[in-house]
Amino acid sequence: MYIYKVGVVGAGTMGAQIAEVVSYAGVPVMLADIQETLAKRGVESVRAIYQARVDKGKMTPEQLEEKMLLVTASPNLDGLNDVDLVIEAVSEDLTLKQRVFHDLDQVCARSTILASNTSALSISAIGAATKRPGKVVGLHFFNPAYAMPLVEVIPGLATDPQTVDDVISFAESLRKTPVVVKECAGFLVNRLLSPYLNEAVLCLQDDGAASVKEIDQDMVSFGMPLGPFTLLDALGLDIALEVARILHRSYGPRMAPAPLLEALVKAGRLGIKAGHGFYDYLSAEERGRDHSLEYLTQQVRQLTGQQSMRWTRSRPLLAMVNEAVTVLQEDVASARDIDLAMVGGTGFPNDKGGPLHFADQLGIDHVLQELEEFRQSLGVRFWPAPMLRRMVDAGFTGQIAGRGFFSY
């Protein structure tokens, strides 16, 4: 099925970015929201993305205007009655998304594919709110959508294979790299990224481990595009906490959110959008009376007990690697797609190749040994994935042995 026209529901940051990506590929797109002012503001956000291209000399003002002719605003869902694909980008609330999909089901043609940009919620549950679950699929773009090459394609339990094929072709037409992911809480990228970020917060929580700036600088020196705390502040600590809670409900104690992350959210330190998170972005006068990071950290340490641990980048990295192996065991995605997704979706350094290639470089036996040491000192969240021990016992120890998660 060829996609001639697209609707985007939710004209916030991600909705506007997705609309820009679609229009840049030459496909007409209608940006819908609950109020006309919100929809028009979304269209102006699309224009601002294009204007940044013009300012950098990457397109002409005339080309900007040509692209903007493809973008229109709609104050409600009724304007989406003739689109071939709808991409929903409203807040991460299952009840809200189900209501939107129920309404789209009434408005859109029976042939229209209904896709959700959710980063962690159940596609099957969203599809169950419609009479066309076979036409419902996850299509998860990454922020910023105009720059990040990866798109996760997530079939629900009832999604038709043809629907999956159609959205893969559409993603490729946008010059994106689609990776098909088996439905699970957090899908692929967020399921691996969340334990990495959470472990960084736990490291900060440890007495004397390292400062925010030191941890960020060390992870950037490893090759990550941003340090974990800079990334958390950019994503929004409240959003990161909600994803962590979703994963905790599904996967148990190893995904328990760091108490310091919860304390920061409760204190209103949500990141850049609030003017302060792990870093302060406003002056003391502008922030007013607020609890400092140091104060909150000390409060959490008093409640949880101080643990003196030296900082090592292995903690957040092996939290990610261990979850990647668990995901591979569960057949959520192939080893190739896991690494492709983490490089394309998080900026995991190209020279490391992704978490599974990185494990092969370290040596699977070394990874297993480090995880066992962390398990003894830090608890069950570092319990090694069973596949690791099986690989070590079989001599599949990575690059040096010529075989690990990949062949060399």
Active-site residue list: 140
DSSP 77: G
* CA–centroid distance for 247 within its chain: 13
How far is Cα 154 from Cα 181, in angstroms, rounded to an integer?
Answer: 5
Helices (H), 174-271: 189-205, 212-222, 228-235, 237-251, 259-266
Tell me which H or E stretch contains 42: helix 36-55
Q: Taking CA 146 as the corner, what is the angle to CA 176 and CA 111, rounded to the nearest 5 degrees?
A: 55
**Can you tell me the distance from the alpha carbon of 160 to that of 33, in angstroms, rounded to the nearest whole number?**
28
The dihedral of CA 253, 346, 210, 315: what is its sign?
A: positive
Q: How many CB atoms lie within 10 A of CB 400?
A: 14
- The span from the CA of 15 to the CA of 21, in Å, is 10
DSSP string, 293-353: HHHHHHHHHHHH---B----THHHHHHHHHHHHHHHHTTSS-HHHHHHHHHHHH---TTTT
Strand pairing category for 150-155 and 136-141: antiparallel
* 396's tokens: 């599949």
